[in-house]
Amino acid sequence: MMEQQELISVVIPSYNRRDSLPACLESVLGQRYANIEVLVVDDASTDGTMDYLQTVRDPRLRALGYGENRGACYARNYGAARARGTYLAFQDSDDTWAPDKLEKQLACLRASGADLCFCGMNRIPVEGKPFYYPVHGFHPERALEDFLAENRAGTQTMLMRRQVWEELRFDESFRRYQDWDFAIRAAARFSLVYLPEALADSAVGEDSISAAVKSYPALVKLYAKHAALYAAHPAADAVMNRRMGLRLLASQPAEAAEHFRKSLRLSHKWYDLAYLIRARVRSLSK
C-alpha cells in the first residue's frame, strides 16, 4: 500500500446531475488512496443537487455553490482555488473511476517526476460498444505536437501537481474542448506522463452530423487561440484542418474544401487530396 501522506483534492463540477452524482461520488470516495478531499461545486443546479450533497456523510466531502450558472470551467477553477491538496484531480459528475485510479496515477507521477499524469478511459456511447480512449498513443518527447493534433486527456483522467493548475487555470470562455485547451497549454509548459490503463468510465452522446457541425465553432476557437503553436507544428496543423474539414463536409462542402486545401498543402498526403476532391464534388452538386 502506497504511503498516503500527501493530500489529493478532487474537484467535481456539477450542474443538474443529481441522478448521476451518487455513482460518481461512490467511485471517488471509494478510492484506495483515501487521503483525499472531494469538492463538489454545484453550478447553480435546479434539481436538488445541493440537498442531496447534504445527505452524504463523509467528512472528506465539501459541497460548494453559488447563485448563478457559470459553466464547468468556472466551477473547476472555483473549486481548485479552495482546495488544500498538494495534488489536484478533476472528475465529471456523470463519470466513474476505478478504485485504484488515484493510487496508480500518483505512483506514476512520483516515479516519473512529471507534473501531470493522464490515464486512459472507457468511453461508453449511448448506442454501440465501449471503446478505449485515447485512440492514439502518446510520445513524451513530442507531447505538444501530440496534443495539438488530438486531444488525449479528458479532465477526468488528469492528476496534476497543484502548480500546474495555478499557472494555467481553465479558460472560462471555453464551453467545449476546455480539457483540450488545458492539455495543450500544459504540454507547452510542463512535463506530462501517460498511464495507458482505462481507469475511468465516461458516457458519451451520439455522434451525429448536427453534433459535428455544432462542434465546428469550438474547434475554430481552439485553433485560433493556439494559432502560433499550430504554425510551428505543420503536421498537427494539417491534422486540425482535416478535422475541421470533416466536420463541415456533409453540410458545408465548399467551406470544408478550404480546410482540405490547407491540410493537403501541409501534409502532401493522398487522402487529403481525396477529401478535397470529394468536397469539391459535393459543393458542385448542391
Give me the chain's average pLDDT, please.
94
- Last residue within a domain, chosen from 204, 230, 253: 204
Whether pLDDT at 106 is above 70: yes
108 in a domain, yes or no? yes
Residue 183's domain comprises 8-204
- Last residue within a domain, chosen from 176, 204, 232: 204
| 97 and 234 together in one domain | no
Per-residue pLDDT tens over the stretch 45-96: 999 999 999 999 999 999 999 999 999 999 999 999 999 999 999 999 999 9
| 56 and 178 together in one domain | yes
163 in a domain, yes or no? yes
For the residues 120-127, what does the mean pLDDT come to? Answer: 91
| 53 and 191 together in one domain | yes
130 in a domain, yes or no? yes
| 27 and 60 together in one domain | yes
| 142 and 189 together in one domain | yes
The pLDDT of residue 43 is: 95
| 163 and 255 together in one domain | no
2 in a domain, yes or no? no
Q: What is the number of structural domains in the chain?
A: 2
| 254 and 186 together in one domain | no
Per-residue pLDDT tens over the stretch 178-230: 999 999 999 999 999 999 999 999 988 654 444 555 789 999 999 999 999 99
| 120 and 249 together in one domain | no
| 62 and 75 together in one domain | yes
| 271 and 198 together in one domain | no
218 in a domain, yes or no? yes
| Band (4; pLDDT cuts 50, 70, 90) | confident
| 198 and 98 together in one domain | yes
| 150 and 176 together in one domain | yes
The pLDDT of residue 213 is: 55
1 in a domain, yes or no? no
76 in a domain, yes or no? yes
> What's the CA gap between 175 and 73, in Å, rounded?
8
Given a contact cutoff of 8 angstroms between Cβ atoms, the answer to whether 155 and 90 are in contact is yes
193 in a domain, yes or no? yes
- Last residue within a domain, chosen from 159, 178, 204: 204
Query: Model's pTM, two decimal places?
Result: 0.94
* CATH assignment at residue 144: 3.90.550.10
